[in-house]
Amino acid sequence: MAASSSVAPERALALYRTMCEIRAFEQAAVKGYRDGHLPGFIHVSLGQEACAAGACGALVEGDLITSTHRGHGHCLAKGADPGRMLAELYARADGYAKGRGGSMHIADVAAGVLGANGIVGQSMGLGIGAALSLQVRGQPNCVVAFFGEGASGTGIAHEAMNMAALWNLGIVFFCESNRYAELSPYDTHVSVPDVAGRAAAYGFTGVVVDGEDVMAVHAAVAEAAARARAGGGPSLIEAKTYRWHGHYEGDPQTYKPEAERRNDEGLDPIARFARGAAALGLDPARLEGAREEAEARIAAALAWAGSLQSPPAAALTEDVYAGQAHGAG
């Protein structure tokens, strides 16, 4: 927590509130899914809240993010509205994607969220494109491209990091290393102990950060984002965290050791923050207030989303093309 002393209590409390919102959002999503109200399938990031909250909490207006199939936390933390997100999960017309995308395609472009994405690794390619756009347009912002250790094995991860270095792009590659890629553990996917070590191959900075510690994540991203905005080029941050749930909701997780399924280590970034809150100048009552606010916000969002209509069949072929209608019917 060495880096935390420079952060104002209000900022720290905001990060905590964001983590509580992500937790409440995903718990609501999980319940909705189990109760049969959410179609399709969802991937939740319970246990990883410090990554999204810490990283996005270090960004400013005009900064952009690209996200993954496990993107609820990133979108919320960057400012997406939980009501419109839940509306999308519930396949409603008022959802961010008008009910066409679902959990894996939530975006709020106005808030700088260029979208969750269903194809592992593409957040990095799209991310360098957004960073290229900032550079060409002379805009002093940066991009954070979220990915996981599973994506670190894709070709596009290498291609994107190489190009980011060649072109000195203002991007932070943020790896949420959550111990599992789909149904297999880290060492099935990654040939080295730390994904962060890959950065050396491209000639930029790579650091490992405790992904359970929101203040540490925040400090690392604040530094990398400031460098990126100032023309200092890309960097790679690997946040070591733990995915509480399976790859998808309903995944029986038979591949995890029993002790890990029970979370015997007690990994929980929200509880972890609470334990260190006094040192940040925050008393328990303020934490409790923030948690209640977060939960109330999500409850209101859930009630609103549940009240909405499904998209009309006539909307089926809207937005396939920009501009005039395409020839195909």
Partner 1 sequence: MRGRPMARVKYYRALNRALHEEMARDDRVILLGEDVGASGGIFAQTRGLYETFGPARVRDTPIAENGFVSAAVGAAMTGLRPVVEVGFEDFLTCCMDPLVNQAAKLRYMLGGQVSVPMLLYTFGGGGVNAGPQHSQSLAAWFAHVPGLKVVMPATPRDVLGLVKSGIRDDNPVLCLLSKKLIGSTGEVTGEGDDTLVPLGAADIARQGRDATLVALGQMRAPALAAADLLAAGGIDVEVIDPRSASPLDMVCIAASVRRTGRLAVVQEAHAPCSLAAEIVAAIAEAGIALRATPRRITPPFAPSPFAPQLERAFLPDAERIASTLRDMVAA
* Residues near partner 1 (CB under 8 A): 64, 66, 95-98, 100-101, 105, 107-110, 114-115, 117-119, 122, 124-137, 155-156, 159-160, 162-163, 166-167, 318-323, 326-328
Residue 150: how many other CB atoms lie within 10 Å? 23
For partner 1, which is the closer residue by CB, 159 or 260? 159
- Rounded-to-integer distance, Cα 224 and Cα 201, Å: 18
| Beta pairing, strands 64-66 & 143-148 | parallel
Smallest distance, partner 1 to C-beta of residue 319, A: 4
Say if residues 81 and 298 touch (Cβ distance below 8 Å). no
Residue 94 or 212: the one with the smaller Cβ distance to partner 1 is 94
Question: 6 vs 309, which CB is nearer to partner 1?
Answer: 309
Supply the minimum distance, in Å, between the C-beta of residue 91 and partner 1.
Answer: 12
Q: How far is the CB of 323 from partner 1 (least distance, A)?
A: 5
In angstroms, give the least distance from the CB of 134 to partner 1. 7
Report the alpha-carbon distance of residue 148 to residue 186 in Å, rounded: 10
Q: How many whole angstroms separate alpha carbon 286 and alpha carbon 167?
A: 45
Asked whether the beta carbons of 159 and 79 are under 8 A apart, the reply is no
In angstroms, give the least distance from the CB of 206 to partner 1.
19
Cα separations in angstroms, 234 against 33, 139, 177, 205: 38, 16, 19, 8
With respect to partner 1, which residue has the nearer C-beta, 74 or 105? 105
Identify the residue whose tokens are 């995308």.
Answer: 101
CB of 166 or CB of 278, closer to partner 1: 166
